[in-house]
Structure 1
């Protein structure tokens, strides 16, 4: 069977089972030929095929990012796709391989930020993962992350703050504390308040 024939939707399966199996086999054998075949499917006229292809690439990227990293440009082009689903799937792949292609992603941050602003919650989540992968090596990432924290929906704020707090460098701690303390004043849900309070407690310890 071809790679296309093994994708979930090609098999009329409405779950990720076949995609997971395919990704696991590619990882096990470091199968670059199959990656090339997947990349060719990104131009398929059927959105379901493209979406499944991106899911397989993401799962491979999470386990063996070096195998997918060289294909970052082809994946990136799908951020221009008219389908939101394809856009966020592409962002998922890019976040899985961000450590493999930091210079490429740095050069294309304007487009990534644009898609984050206009896309789904999933798109934004994985955009933040990309920024965190580039942090702190890329000089602009602290300011970009602070902006995301400042503008994050209440539901996402805690997640973003927690992830950054685990890798934050000493010089950025004070700025993050300031924004979180200001955001905390406007949070109404107790669970959101507790989550940010916990992050602030950890950040204050880092300053000691």
Structure 2
């Protein structure tokens, strides 16, 4: 069976298991040709094939980002695609492979932020993930943290605890005060006690 024939929609399946199994197979074989086929078919006329391809690429990226990293430009090109599934799928895949080519990701930040500003929760979650990765690199840290702080200031309160917790490893003496100030300013907005406690806990960790 060809790579496309193994995708969920080609098999008449509505679940993601075939795509996950295909990703595992491609990773086990280090099959760069198969990855290239998936990238090529992101523009297939069938939207179900498009969705399966981006899902499979995302799974491959999580298992072995080096296999997908050569195609970062193709993923970036999808961020303004009319198909929303491809938009957030591309952002998810980019987050999975970003560390393999942070320079390309950094250069594409305007596009990444624009996509997140109009995108879904998943799109924003992965945008934040990308910014946190960039914050860990001194060359990109200042710009990336400024953009991360903007997202902390305006993200839905439901997402704030997770973003704050995920950002903790990149908080340092240079950005500590801004981070704490942002989280503290947003505490009154958080209605759920459990979520407010998580943000308060993040603030306490930084202030130790």
TM-score by length of 1: 0.95
1:168 aligns with 2:171: yes
Moved over 4 A (4+): none
Correspondence for 2:162 among 159, 162, 165:
159
The answer to whether the 8 A contact 2:157-2:189 is kept is no
What's the Cα RMSD here? 1.0
Shift of residue 58, structure 1, vs aligned partner: 0.7
Shift of residue 151, structure 1, vs aligned partner: 0.6
Indicate the SS of the match to 1:98: helix
What residue ranges of structure 2 are gaps of 5+ in the alignment? none
Partner of 2:28: 28
Correspondence for 1:199 among 195, 198, 202:
202
Q: How far apart in 2 are the matches of 1:103 and 1:125?
A: 20
* Residues 10-21 of structure 1: pairs in structure 2 closer than 5 A: 10-21=10-21
The answer to whether the 8 A contact 1:47-1:86 is kept is no
Q: How far apart in 2 are the matches of 1:23 and 1:45?
A: 22
Q: How far apart in 1 are the matches of 2:190 and 2:61?
A: 36
The answer to whether the 8 A contact 1:136-1:142 is kept is no
The answer to whether the 8 A contact 1:62-1:97 is kept is yes
The answer to whether the 8 A contact 2:78-2:90 is kept is yes
**Aligned residues between the structures:** 205
Shift of residue 169, structure 1, vs aligned partner: 2.5
1:58 aligns with 2:58: yes
1:140 aligns with 2:143: yes
What residue ranges of structure 1 are gaps of 5+ in the alignment? none
Q: How far apart in 2 are the matches of 1:38 and 1:188?
A: 43
Indicate the SS of the match to 1:45: coil
Deviations 1:2-31 (A, max 9, x none): 111100011111111100110001111111
